[in-house]
Amino acid sequence: MTQQKTAKLYRMVMDKHICPYGLKAIDLLKSKGCEVEDHYLTSREEADAFKKEHEVETTPQIFIEGERIGGYDALKKYFGKGDKGEITYKPIIAIFATTFLMALSTAWAIGELSSIRVIELFIALSMCALAIQKLKDLEAFSLQFLNYDLLAQKWVKYAYVYPVVEMLAGVAMISGFLTIISAPAALFIGAIGAISVFKAVYIDKRELKCACVGGNSNVPLGFISLTENIMMIAMAIWMLTKTL
């Protein structure tokens, strides 16, 4: 039987501030079967004195069996958990799963629960959700987008235009409003995006992060990114076919 390890945690717990990393550290330690001695630092003076004594710059600080591990990020590494820079598909999976359920729910609510209508709504809602991720920090998005988008590299302002067009086209496609404008717009940005991703990944063999879920994401540029653009192209063609 593995002996239970003892951990000491020093974290700030004050009237107007409770350290969130301290709470995460407790949860992680307990999930790993550690017996936790939880020590509160209840004032700035007490926290500063602790940091000076142990020659550290931040709290929380974790000690396991007398050995100082460090803060929450160091604790994750100690237990073999990935850091913030690891490649992940979690953001895009979360968005697509949510928009698919929203599409199902919406189709049912309006009495149009068919596979075609669900797919239409899923793509349109996904476009809106992805646009929100980009629009919440346009500067961060543009920096990542400029790494691979061919049009943005020629005309930098396109990096700011792209998420707005994506959002407006998605909104219009939900209702079928102004399809004659929204569908060509989606077709254009989808085609440029698909060509850019294909060139960067499959021709130039570059390892880049995708800006599809906004700037500073760790979603790799590749098949998922290409799929987003192909979905947009297919939706635009379909909507135009229905209209014309």
Q: Look up the CATH architecture of domain 6-78.
A: 3-Layer(aba) Sandwich (3.40)
pLDDT of residue 2: 54
Q: How far is CA 25 from the centre of its chain?
A: 22
User: Which residues in the chain show pLDDT less than 70?
Assistant: 1-3, 82-85
Residue 109, CB-side half-sphere exposure with 13 Å CA sphere? 7
User: What whole-number distance in Å separates Cα of residue 128 and Cα of residue 134?
Assistant: 10
Written as six digits, the tokens of 13 are 């717990």
Contact 87, 93 (CB under 8 A): no
pLDDT of the residue at 3: 66
- Looking at the DSSP bridge assignments, the partners of residue 6 are 35
Of the candidates 183, 134, 182, the one whose C-alpha atom is nearest the C-alpha of residue 159 is 134
- State the alpha helices, DSSP H only, in the chain: 20-31, 44-54, 72-78, 90-109, 115-135, 138-145, 150-154, 158-175, 179-198, 223-243
Q: Please give the structure tokens belonging to residue 208.
A: 């880049």
Confidence (pLDDT) at 224 = 79
